[in-house]
A = this chain, B = another copy of it.
Amino acid sequence: MPTIEDIAKEAGVSTATVSRVINNSGYVSERTKLRVWHAIKKIGYTPKESARVLAKHKKTYRIAICISERIQKLSQQDNVGQFYGVVVESIRRSSTACGMYPELKLMETVENEYDGYILIGADADLNILKKFRSMKKPFVLVDHYIPGQVIDCIISDGYDGAYYAVSYLIKKGLTRIVHIHAPLNAYGFRSRYDGYLAAMEHGGLMPKTYEYDDIANNMPSVVEMMLRTYGLPHAIFTSNDIAAIRVITELKKRGIRVPEDVSVIGFDDIAWAETFDPPLTTLRVFKDEMGVLACNRLRDLIMGINPHPVRISLFTRFIKRKSSI
């Protein structure tokens, strides 16, 4: 594997000159440039990314991890923030591994004084986006994607997971499967919803969905509504684990047993899911990986590597526990 030294030797110059040619920096005569490019072509050399990064990294970049005020409040209040807490923690760790120094900020108020930004969650709407675009600094969205918008983002694809889980229930012989979901303006929830629909259609079953808008207070009435208008389903698939837990709590109050009377499947695999009674069957979202990928991507963006926008979707994993058949 050729190194810069091989090129230097071949071209009869020093490694410094080769580096200058490659980076198009400093003074190099045209004649020398040509000789170096020839040597590079001839030997088939490409500089190693890791060595460049290491050598260049005198400066550590300052980045802002941005959450919304809403999320911040929720995360103080109760377990809703669990999900984002894990993501933030992962970003924190990973960003220093990428040579970036992170600070936690609110996306509504953060100033244009960082080298890059990571925006977490669906509250990063078009307005917020506009603000960040106008700052002319690289940023990546985590756990959110706005169809039609060209932005770097890291998401966990709900479609595949939802499709898999619902298909699993169908394969077990269940037919009356309900989806209780969050508002669909967030792509994450939308894709889970779509996956549910696709699986039901593929199984030749009638889908039935109920939406809640306030996860903290809405669940009793949603469950009530479902029981009144639809009766007891064979299974309930929810947008996320918190919703699943709330639903199960409501069912328990009414003496309905999980999973004997009805299977419940959540989404996310938050820490609670495993210790809840019954332990929750769910789809694991790899929150750590999301953070790591976000940092890597932002680092690339800041350094100008692979600047073309991408959407990175993590696959989820079905975790079978006791809350479902």
Contact surface of A with B, Cβ cutoff 8 Å: 1-2, 44-51, 53-54, 57, 60, 93-94, 96-99, 101, 147-148, 150, 157, 160, 163-164, 286, 289, 292-293, 296, 306, 308-315
Contacts and interface: CB of A to CB of B under 8 A. Distances in A.
Contact of A54 (B45, B47, B54): B54
A54 B157 CA distance: 33
A93 B54 contact: no
Contacts of A293: 306, 310
7 contacts: A1-B96, A46-B93, A150-B160, A289-B308, A308-B314, A310-B314, A311-B312
A283 to B, nearest CB: 12
Nearest to A61: B1
B289 A96 contact: no
Between A97, A148, A296, A310, the greatest number of chain B beta carbons within 10 A of the residue's beta carbon is seen for A310
A310 B313 CA distance: 5
B289 A47 contact: no
How many copies of this chain? Answer: 2
Between A47, A48, A94, A101, the greatest number of chain B beta carbons within 10 A of the residue's beta carbon is seen for A48
A53 B50 CA distance: 6
B101 A1 contact: yes
Contacts of A46: 93-94, 96-97
Contacts of A1: 60, 96, 99, 101
A310 B310 contact: no
Nearest to A309: B315
A99 to B, nearest CB: 6
